[in-house]
A and B are shown apart, each in its own frame.
Chain A
Amino acid sequence: MGFLDINNVTKSYGSVEVLHKVDIQVQEGEFLVLVGPSGCGKSTLLNMIAGLEGITSGEIVIKDRVVNDVQPSKRNIAMVFQSYALYPNMTVGQNITFGLEMQGTPKAERDAAMADVAKLLQIEDLLKRKPGQLSGGQRQRVAMGRALVRDPDVFLFDEPLSNLDAKLRVDMRTEIKKLHQKLGTTIVYVTHDQIEAMTLSTRIAVMYNGYVQQLGTPKEIYDNPANLFVATFMGSPAMNVLPSKLVEMNGALHAQIQGADGQDVHLRIEDAPEAYRAFVGKDVVFGIRPEAITDPEGADRNARNIQALSNLVSVTEPAGADTFVSTTLSGKDCVARMRADADVHPGRPFEFAVNMDKAVLFDPKTENRIA
């Protein structure tokens, strides 16, 4: 039993089921991020936790209380909306205390709570202004203040940073993380931005087509994606997925892929899991993250199995800190992430170092990871 339990929850609109048996247990103080592309059902799930949408089947439990039929205001949750949803006719101060006022908290207590929150978020000098007079970042703070002041059991964030410009988004992201570490509250956070998901969360639920594809810590999701969708959705640039064949040579398993020149290349796999056995001689999908393909000098010193791969460089994209190098493998573009000063040139062959510790294989039929 967790602090917030989502037990086999489904949601249907008429005969169309948009969420299928979602089952997530959130512990107290956890930062759960629901991430996925538009229309995956993440916002619907959040609205169901908030009580703004009905639950078709299953139950949602907050602090051992089934809240399926409890009014949003009685669930002791607070929500920050994508558009901030500040009441335009009220001052910042009134916005923050509106919830307390509705609950009948005496004026003196409301003012004290407001002062605390305003101090925490450094918005003390904005309290008399109207939302229309605030900048995007200030509105964001006020929206968080409105949630914080109620001291709820669970905070719900619905894409709170997507209306901010790039720089402010990064700043506010750090701020939310700091706030979470400071207050230790339980947070459910919806985003379509996988970087936000990775940086903020203690656990991530990757959603697609109304299913939770994988639930795990950011590291688990990143290193051991459960299927091709999770592998390609999380990470930027995306994981390289190459058509490949699993072959046995000299008593070891090899992933056989095709170089740019049409010749087969074999990458040796060490400590292969037992499950690989069933795929020997069959087609598989070979997955490798860009940062696992480097120049030989830039390779991870702790890696146990680094395979050399000589191939033609098609494009280099210097991005300041890193240089992204494209090459063609098995007829697909494959991106490598290298040090900025790696000596690579487009149109010339290059000796890539592939960190096979990080390689993963997928079943091309089910798209699930072979492990």
Chain B
Amino acid sequence: MAMASSDNAVRSSNFTRALIYLVLILFALFYLLPFGIMLVNSLKPLEEITGGNMIALPQNWTIAPWLSAWSTAQIGVQPTGLRPYFINSIVMAVPAVAISTFVGALNGYVLTKWHFRGATWIFGLLLFSCFIPFQIVLIPMARILGILNISGTAYGLILVHVVYGIGFSTLYFRNYYAVFPTELVRAAQIDGAGFFQIFWRIMLPSSGPIIAVCCIWQFTNIWNDFLFGASFASGGSAPMTVALNNLVNSSTGVREYNVHFAGAIMAAGPTLLVYIVAGRYFVRGLMAGSVKG
């Protein structure tokens, strides 16, 4: 867009500028529209929706659908609301993100600063794992979880997501550490720091942006995952995404659209929050590896 070059010698007129902003605002509204409708309808009584007025603002504002979605709605057969599943997702996502990020950082550190024979091959194989479709591993993974006796538990899902996440997190950290000055590692070696001391004291404290990038990426993927959640977790241990599906598909009587909308926003909330809190690091971290040198 012309915005990038607005500071060059050719000044665009105010009219052009206004036009550009108008277009941008229209696009932004267009993208926000679905979310707006979800939000508006989650705050309406059900009659207003079934009355056929989906776009209009609520006549009677209510947070009852949110309360219902959170604690009393029918999920499958139990009227528990989404709360326990929300907790399931947290219990699954937080350790999975932490472990895969940590292992990725360690991998990146070893692959770039402690070069060994075959390092390029190992990195290539790890990279390859990023491109394996989820569906292919479902059956072997189910078998392994069975052997380890953790199928249907949060541990099982954590393992699955860690294994799947390591490829990406290694890629991120390897590229970040590839341009990290090796002289720092050498200086630390001469100073007498060991393998892990260098990692903890020198590498990790300088990895803020890439840790943010990695966490955002992993958290979004793991939180939003439906396939693994539906395949490897059952009943009470299902994650939020699966529970949301069950909420929407529980057909006892009327479909409570307002409750469904509230539940969907709840499911999207944490990833949204992560982007808002750490999003500025995301771009910065992605750029760091390529430009800074």
A and B bound?
yes
Asked if B197 is at the interface of the complex by the 8 Å CB criterion, the answer is yes
Q: Are B192 and A82 in contact (CB under 8 A)?
A: no
Interface flag for A211 (CB, 8 Å): no
- Is B205 engaged at the interface, CB distance under 8 Å to the other chain? yes
Question: Taking the complex as formed, is A92 at the interface, i.e. its CB lies under 8 A from any CB of chain B?
Answer: no
**Partner among A77, A83, A98 whose Cβ is within 8 Å of the Cβ of B188:** A98
Which A-chain residue is minimally distant from B208 (CB atoms)? A89
Instruction: Bin chain B's interface residue count.
Output: 10 to 19
- Complex: A99 Cα to B197 Cα, angstroms: 12
Q: Which residues of A contact B187 (CB under 8 A)?
A: 79, 81, 85, 87, 146
B137, CB-defined interface residue at 8 Å: no
Interface pair A77/B190, CB less than 8 Å apart? yes
Contact across chains for A87 and B202 when beta carbons are under 8 A apart? yes
Interface residues in A91-118 by Cβ distance below 8 A to B read 98-99, 102-103
Q: Is the CB of B206 within 8 A of A79?
A: no
Interface centre among B191, B193, B201, B202 (most CB of A within 10 A): B191
Task: List chain A residues, Cβ under 8 A from B205.
Answer: 89
- Report yes or no: A102 in contact with B193, Cβ–Cβ below 8 A: yes
Query: 1/0 per position for A143-158, CB-CB distance to B under 8 A?
Result: 0001000000000000
A83, B181: Cβ atoms under 8 Å? Answer: yes
Contact of A98 among B181, B183, B186, B193 (CB under 8 A): B193
Q: A52-B186, A102-B197 are in contact. Are A85 and B181 (CB under 8 A)?
A: yes
Contacts of A89 in B (CB 8 A): 202, 205-206
| B71 on interface, CB distance cutoff 8 Å | no
The prevalent SS among residues of B at the interface is helix
Contact B197 A82 (CB under 8 A): no
Closest A residue by C-beta to B205? A89
Interface membership of A72, Cβ < 8 A:
yes
| B183 interface neighbour in A74, A83, A102, Cβ under 8 Å | A83
Q: How far is the CB of B70 from chain A (nearest CB, A)?
A: 42
Q: Write out the residue numbers on chain A whose beta carbons fall within 8 Å of the beta carbon of B181.
A: 83, 85
The answer to the question of B189 belonging to the interface, with a C-beta cut-off of 8 Å to chain A, is yes
CA A78 to CA B187, docked complex, whole Å: 9
Residues of B181-216 contacting chain A, CB below 8 A: 181, 183-184, 186-193, 197, 201-202, 205-206
Question: With the chains together, A74 CA to B206 CA distance in Å?
Answer: 26
Number of A-B contacts (CB under 8 A): 56
- Partner of B190 from the list A78, A82, A83, A87 (CB cut-off 8 Å) is A78
Band of interface residues on A: 20 to 34
A102→B191 contact, CB < 8 A: yes
B184 A73 Cβ-Cβ under 8 A: no
Which residues of chain A come closer than 8 Å to B188, judged between CB atoms?
A: 87, 98
CB pair A72 B190 closer than 8 Å: yes
Contact of A79 among B190, B192, B201 (CB under 8 A): B190
Asked if residues A52 and B184 are in contact (CB atoms below 8 Å), the reply is no
Q: Is B183 a contact partner of A99 (Cβ separation < 8 A)?
A: no
CB–CB B192/A73 < 8 A: yes
Query: In the complex, which residues of chain A have a beta carbon less than 8 angstroms from the beta carbon of B183?
Result: 81-83, 85
Please give the distance in Å from B198's CB to the nearest CB on chain A. 10
Contact partner of A102 among B184, B186, B192, B206, CB < 8 A?
B192
CB distance from A154 to the nearest CB of B (A): 11
Look across to chain A and name the residue whose beta carbon is closest to the beta carbon of B207: A89
Q: Is there a chain B Cβ closer than 8 Å to A88's Cβ?
A: yes
CB-CB contacts of A99-139 with B at 8 A, as 1s and 0s?
10011000000000000000000000000000000000000
Q: Is A50 a contact partner of B192 (Cβ separation < 8 A)?
A: no
Q: Please measure, in the bound complex, the distance between the C-alpha atom of A40 and the C-alpha atom of B28, giving whole angstroms.
A: 59
Residues on A with beta carbons closer than 8 Å to the beta carbon of B201: 87, 98
**11 more A-B residue pairs beyond the given contacts A71-B189, A79-B187, with a C-beta to C-beta distance below 8 A:** A51-B190, A79-B190, A85-B184, A87-B188, A88-B184, A88-B206, A89-B202, A98-B201, A102-B191, A103-B192, A146-B187
What are some 16 contacts across the A-B interface (CB < 8 A)? A52-B186, A52-B190, A72-B189, A73-B189, A73-B190, A73-B191, A73-B193, A81-B187, A87-B187, A89-B206, A98-B193, A99-B191, A102-B192, A103-B192, A146-B187, A146-B191
B interface vs A, CB < 8 Å? 181, 183-184, 186-193, 197, 201-202, 205-206
Those 6 A-B pairs whose CB atoms lie nearest each other, nearest first: A73-B192, A99-B191, A89-B205, A102-B192, A85-B183, A85-B187
Using a CB–CB distance below 8 Å, which chain A residues touch chain B? 50-52, 71-74, 77-79, 81-83, 85, 87-89, 98-99, 102-103, 146
